[in-house]
Amino acid sequence: MESFSTEDLSTIGGIATVSLLHSFIPTHWLPFSIVGRAQKRWAQSFS
């Protein structure tokens, strides 16, 4: 089996870093957070 070259490891590391940073963009998680809070408040209004 062939081992990874320095260029391969650098590419994999770069992709992992960009993916992680990309997941912190609010447009990806903010809508889910807002909807979850709205549903929680809506459910509490019936109890």
Instruction: Spell out the domain ranges in the chain.
Output: 6-45
What per-residue confidence (pLDDT) applies to 8? 95
Helix, strand, coil in percent for the chain, rounding step 5: 80, 0, 20
Give per-residue pLDDT as tens, 9-39.
999 999 999 999 888 888 878 888 889 888 8
| Average of per-residue pLDDT across 36-44 | 79
Q: What is the pTM of this model?
A: 0.52
User: Which of 37, 39, 19 has its CA nearest to residue 28?
Assistant: 19
Q: What is the pLDDT of residue 24?
A: 84
Which is more confidently placed, 22 or 45? 22
